[in-house]
Amino acid sequence: MFSSVLIANRGEIACRIARTAKRLGLRTIAVYSEADAGALHVRLCDEAHGIGAPPARESYLVIERLIEVALRARADCVHPGYGFLSENAEFAEACARAGVTFVGPPPTAIRAMGLKDRAKALMQKAGVPVVPGYHGERQQPAFLKEKAYEIGYPVLIKAVAGGGGKGMRRVSKHAEFDDALEAAQREAQNAFGDARVLIEKYVTAPRHIEMQVFADTHGNAIHLNERDCSLQRRHQKVIEEAPAPGMPPELRAAMGAAAVQAAKAVGYAGAGTVEFIADGAKGLRLDGFWFMEMNTRLQVEHPVTEAITGLDLVEWQFRVAAGEKLPLTQDQVALAGHAVEARIYAEDPERGFLPSTGRLVALDLPAGEGIRVDTGVEPGSEITPYYDPMIAKVIAHAPTRSAALDLLAAALERTVAAGPRTNVAFLAKLCRADGFRAGDFDTGFIERNAAALGATPQGLDQGAAALGAARLLAQDTARIAQRLDGAPDEPPSPWDATDGFQLSGSRSVEFPILVDGEAVRAQARFGPIGPNVTVDGITPDASARAIETVDAIYVLRHGRQTTVRRADTSIGALDHGGSDGRITAPMHGRLLALLVQKGDKVEKGQRVAVIEAMKMEHALTAQRAGIVTDVTAAAGSQVAEGAKLLTIEPLA
């Protein structure tokens, strides 16, 4: 076994690797960018080294710098985690040249499976069923469009490199293909440095099922059962579970055998995931699954496999990399109970799941029997625009699927995360959704049920707003009392009164507040026992939780966050754009493209700009028809949330 490890990653996965490494007695070495200098993973490790500026391409993706740190820190091995350089053959080769063991598969296996087109060709040769489509080298747009027509719509455009739903577009009509291809290629180039794509037939009721495989350097390979990752949004996994609902034992055996065959075909070693698409229209069956791709690394969702097997997959990674044989044979692999994982992200389900940035002013993650939480942040941590906005993974394990979903839903409902917006309320509703619980779901479930899951604008929560307004009023009252106590020589003023006395009737006031950036008026009626605050006649919700900061009250109600601030009308804080024709940045990020210029005529709903944040593209559209009169940002520049990009004046 090794004596030390450099963890070439950050956040939740770096913390998770460090825990196992420490249990095994390894000295842990962290790396960090300037944005992560105070991060949790830095403090968890025995030592830490800075590697550059916040953008990943200037720090976590700089191979030479990581190798330099590994040598300077005398690391025996490098664990890449997932993402970043985990599936980079050049990084694995650089480790080998430096005499440092790469905790992962050999570079040949990474190359064989790292490009989806080559992986599919290899699987076809090995006899593994593959989704019908075009996986060749030709990339001319007209040719790809012709192939899509031959395959038959709907089709899926997929980046040849990478994963995580980036560079992927579903196309339902021939007329939509050109725009979808351009967007997929641009996103793939930005995310992976490779714009090439393949075209696949889109399975109309797809279930995304993956097999966890493990192989050693002695010729042994097994699978550790399957995971169902069908609950997705924009091809990104939201909730994962093991085992897959409705999985017949004979299909598990067949799919597992195909996965092991795929691993052996590339001379695999270490942890890997073979991903299949299954046609769920008529239930899971032997003749209805196809190979999609292989991820040559640990997966985000590996904890559900650990829960049902009782294994530590990171420990297995270390042992295999150190030359040991697999600890178990196939018939010794357990499958106990059911596990479900939910990914808590800093994002806003009501605004198309836009990433949300900022400081975590409060964070209280669940605990208890059957609950596991993996996180890389803590109260006070900053969610930046530079990296994936994951806050935590919450995993529930119970004897049955229904019990596991109940346990997870309850855990999410008692989770407190304030500051950036989160998807906690959305996840809890998803766990309790009837169709999902009945096993009647596929990868389109979230899109079809967005409104019921709270993934559409919900409007003003008056009870939460009233609670925030009441807390603001209480703060103001306390400040007045403190000021009066501190100025004994100052004559009292009747305007400083904080009781309910008035010469005629009870005293009432109306005062402006900002609720999630929108102007709202709260009412306060003063009585003998203090003020009664309402918003639209609704009193504060006593069941909600309020977190007070110096500039805002964050109110959490059923997992949904309402932010209440004082309205400073003197500086025009009540005017938040939109109706005046301004197009503003909805989040921190990079202005990838400006699709219009000054003097252009635009139609309502027309795309005018594209922002890249959290490694995804987000299109901005005109809210009205008009003429572009002012452009205040340049393509390629970093923009802050709320920054004005351009102005559209109405047509005369």
Please give the structure tokens belonging to residue 198: 């393949």
- Spatial strand order of the sheet with 607-613 comes to 616-621, 607-613, 589-594, 638-639
Query: Distance between alpha carbon 558 and the CA centroid of its chain, in Å?
Result: 20
Which amino acid appears at position 44 of this protein?
A: L
- What distance in Å separates the CA atoms of residue 531 and residue 539, rounded to the nearest whole number? 11
- C-alpha pair distances (Å), 349 with each of 355, 356, 387, 429: 9, 10, 19, 12
Q: What is the dihedral of CA 280, 282, 283, 289, to 10 degrees?
A: -50
- CB burial of residue 460 (10 Å; 0-12, 13-18, 19+): middle
DSSP 8-class letter at 25: T
Q: Are 418 and 360 in contact (CB under 8 A)?
A: yes
SS3 of 464-501: HHHHHHHHHHHHHHHHHHHHHHCCCCCCCCHHHCCCCC
Q: Which residues contact 524 (CB under 8 A, 6 or more apart)?
A: 469, 473, 508, 509, 510, 511, 531, 532, 533, 534
297 is catalytic: yes
Q: Taking the CB of residue 60, how many other CB atoms lie within 10 A of it? A: 26
DSSP 8-class letter at 237: E
Strand 270-279 versus strand 206-215 pairing type: antiparallel
Catalytic residue among 16, 169, 297, 560: 297
- C-alpha pair distances (Å), 652 with each of 397, 580, 582, 607: 63, 15, 17, 22
Closest to 119 measured CA to CA, from 228, 273, 224, 222: 273
DSSP secondary structure, 628-646, as one string? EEEE---TT-EE-TT-EEE
- Spatial strand order of the sheet with 338-345 comes to 289-295, 270-279, 206-215, 221-233, 236-242, 338-345, 390-398, 371-375
Q: Any bridge partners for residue 239, and if so which?
A: 231, 342
Q: Are 278 and 228 in contact (CB under 8 A)?
A: no
Please give the structure tokens belonging to residue 84: 């970043």
For residue 383, give the 3-state DSSP assignment: strand
For residue 528, say if its preceding peptide bond is cis, omega within 30 degrees of 0: no
Strand 47-50 versus strand 77-79 pairing type: unpaired
Please give the structure tokens belonging to residue 87: 């599936």
Please list the active-site residues: 297
